[in-house]
Amino acid sequence: MTYQPSPESPLSNFTNSLPEETRRAVLASATCREYRADEIICPHGAPAEALYFVLTGNVHLDFPQWRMRHILADGESFGESEIIRRAVNPFTAVAITDVELWVLEKCALDSLLENHSALSLALSHRIVAKYQTMQTVSLQASRRYRRKHRPADYKIAFGALAMVILTAMFFSLVLVVFTATTLQVEGLEFAAGTSESDAPAVPASPTKVARWLGLPEPTRTPIALTATATRSPTRTATSKPVATRTPRLQPTPTATLVAPAMAAVMAAPTPLPREWKMPAWTIVEDAQVAPGQKYFRLVKAIYFDEASAGGRVNILVGVLDENGKELIDVPVRMEWGVNEYTIRQTEEKRDPFLIPYNLNIIAAHDMAGGSSFAPERGERGGYKITIEGFASDAVSGMGLPLRRHVAFLLVFQRTVR
């Protein structure tokens, strides 16, 4: 329904700054929506679909990438920058209380910006003011963090310095003790800690004594050895004949020629059987590949209704190799329109929801609130999932039926046709 703000409404501060013609066009294009407490307005990573203005209630914005949270009250807005830049939402917007939002859809906003330049200027001023406020809040939070953790940082630095000093002192002491254990002079040795007169002398040769006293060195007289060397009687070695073995005839191996494509098929592990537990409004499209080529085959597809999803609004995707081992950093592509898509890589996620399926590495794509559709009217969801890198099976028709919070689990396996 179209919302006409009263003079005391927080929205009037924004609309009254516009020319009358622009103001009437904006109010005629916008609608008013209501959300219950704890209901997700727009999830993180979903494409920006609208500009939201809080009329009543409170909205919680959670920025996981920046580790920052922000609570919006009456008169505040969100989504302006993302919808103008045609980006995805860097936050998750959740209603804290029952809220009433003034919503301007993407297509309506594009039309207004083309025909009313005053609206572009007003949105620019609003974006600059909001980001200045967020920058101030972030700076204050950073200062509080530094004041809180500075004593602990100093303690760690002083402790590390003390350990370095103590280690250096220990090794210095070991070196001194090792050096002082033995004092050696040519011809004499003294035990550590004793005087020269008390130390037992080691007998010195006449040559060394002459050197100490500065006398000529004595001459050496060679001594003739007269001992007769006896030689043991020579033994005559008799060689024994060495037994020889008659070589056995080995069978000649027969070469078996196998076509390369057939060899690849024989060497490839058997892929897992496909498990399909999806509603009738979803379909799977098999990848078109030639025999012997690698591709990603869908082996498991499970739908979780509103009772079993536990509040999730995700498409969870796991990727296995030929032996059934989970693969990490594999790009998973989610499409929702012509040239509209997002890619996320599989990463480790310790989610208890995935324990029954033996999965720890997945890519999680969030489904936006605008993906709602009516299955009873023959409609299908607009999301499609494929795997990048090789040809891939495709699963399409997914979304939020009648805005219900549902989830999907898809598992693909890399195999050979």
Q: Residue 39 and residue 42: Cα distance in Å, rounded?
A: 9
DSSP helix/strand/coil, 108 = helix
Return the pLDDT at 318.
95
Topology, domain 12-137: Jelly Rolls (2.60.120)
Q: Which of 164, 165, 160, 204 is nearest to 185 (CA)?
A: 204
Do the beta carbons of residue 304 and residue 408 sit within 8 Å?
yes
Compute the half-sphere exposure of residue 140: CA atoms within 13 Å on the CB side of its CA. 6
Residue 39, pLDDT score: 92
Give residue 365's pLDDT: 92
pLDDT of residue 208: 64
pLDDT at res. 321? 95
Quick check: pTM over 0.85?
A: no
The CATH 2.60.120.10 domain(s) of the chain lie at 12-137
241/239 Cα distance (integer angstroms):
7
DSSP 156-171: HHHHHHHHHHHHHHHH
Q: What is the pLDDT of residue 327?
A: 94
Q: Give exposure, 3-21, as e/b (b: 16+ Cβ within 10 Å).
A: bebeeebbbeebbeebeee
Note the pLDDT of residue 265: 44
How far, in Å, are 17, 88, 121, 224 from residue 85 at the CA level? 23, 9, 15, 107
H helix or E strand, kind and range, residue 144:
helix 117-180
Average pLDDT, consecutive stretches of 10 residues, N- to C-terminus, the chain (417 residues): 58 76 85 91 89 91 81 86 85 93 88 83 77 66 65 73 90 80 45 45 58 64 49 50 54 48 52 89 93 94 92 92 94 88 90 88 87 89 94 94 92 95
**pLDDT of 58:** 93
pLDDT value of position 211: 66
